[in-house]
Amino acid sequence: MHGVRVVELVGIGPGPFAAMLLADLGADVIRVDRPGGNALQLGPAVKDILGRGRPSVAIDLKNPRGVETVLDLVASADILIEGLRPGVTERLGLGPADCHARNPALVYGRMTGWGQDGPLAQTAGHDINYIAVAGALGSIGRAGGPPQVPLNLVGDFAGGSLYLVTGLLAALTHARATGEGQVVDAAITDGTAHLMSMIVAMQQSGGWSDRRGTNMLDTGTPFYDVFETSDGQWMSVGPLEPQFFAAFAQGLGVELPGQYDIARWDELRAAIATAFAGRTRAEWIEVFDGTDACVAPVLSLTEAYEHPHNVARGTYVEHHGLTQPAPAPRFSATPATLTSPPEAAGSSTAEALAAWGIADVDQLIADGVAVQAPSTTSKDHS
């Protein structure tokens, strides 16, 4: 994505993750922060991996000259990302009409939970609320138990960020072919619903029950679940196909009821649980290593950093004193690389604005329209 310029109006969660992904892929992203930083920042900015790969400039968007400065950035940008409540950028003078007046080919990306319209568009919410309304949360959990919250991966980052980036790239292709920009309305509820496509298809064909924990992929089957080992750790089990189940049974070393003898599934689950409880996780890892039994240890994050497969592929890397996920996916001709570390709001205001062609940077800083903060990165705090 070298040569693609992106203006990010800083938000929280899915917006910054989308900007990080574009930066990982080589886009030239400039992050427009609030002077003083984001009040909802989770931990020190210099350790916030979502801020990696792009300089931070601090601009006062309540000042008309600050708004004009952002519009000057927009004039040479390909993409803008904003994650504010619907109508906020319009009130600031940075809405789609304002930006397209300066740059008709701009792809204007909007990241929200509920979308730009609809009865809930103006109400507050978070990932857990969005995936609840989309139907995903109610589908996750064990039979007879409450819905289980899948971190904020399903909504914020899968249903939100990844759909926003997909939309931005599709719209960018159109803009480069026609010179016509457009608005990409990425709602987490929409994206999450789209992620449910396979489950919806199974439900429509009678292969999925609305009763949580009774289906093939939600722990309803005894051979798609997690089981505790003798040392209080866990193993994941997923041999859905008969040949993989046969390898699983062989490794387990006990006689099991038939895989799809549903009347005996309680017996099958008990037999699997009893077997796993007889050895430690390390022992079971050794048993199933190199087999097609579809069995893997359930690792903590710290353990995942050190797993041999992740180490071999460089799935997690050390960069500027921080352990962090490497860019994904992998490219054979244009590999993505990590560049600059996350930094505090406004650390690169003077340098980045000048690099983007803003002429009166020193005066903007002198007048308080833009703020140059002391330069600090994760490397300084490692």
Which residues does the annotation mark as catalytic? Answer: 126, 156
CA angle 314, 317, 322 (to 5 degrees): 170
Tally of CA atoms within 13 A in the half-sphere of 246 that contains its CB: 3
Task: Return the beta strands (E) in the chain as ranges.
Answer: 5-9, 28-33, 56-59, 79-82, 107-112, 182-187, 225-228, 234-237, 295-297, 316-319, 322-325, 370-371
Q: How far is CA 214 from CA 141, 208, 220, 270, 360, in A?
A: 9, 8, 4, 16, 64
Q: Which tokens is 303 given?
A: 């353990």
Phi, psi of 338 (to 5 degrees): -80, 135
Going by DSSP bridges, is the β-strand pair 79-82/225-228 parallel, antiparallel, or unpaired? unpaired
What are residue 28's DSSP bridge partners? Answer: 5
Q: How far apart are CA 204 and CA 331, in angstroms?
A: 37
DSSP state, residue 139: G
Name beta bridge partners: 295: 237
In angstroms, the CA 220 to CA 225 distance is 8
- DSSP for 256-292 reads ---TT-GGGHHHHHHHHHHHHTTS-HHHHHHHHTT-S
For 71, the 3-state DSSP assignment is helix
Conformational region of residue 174, where left means phi above 0, alpha means psi within -120 to 50, and beta covers everything else: alpha
Tell the residue number behind the tokens 């730009």, with chain if given: 116
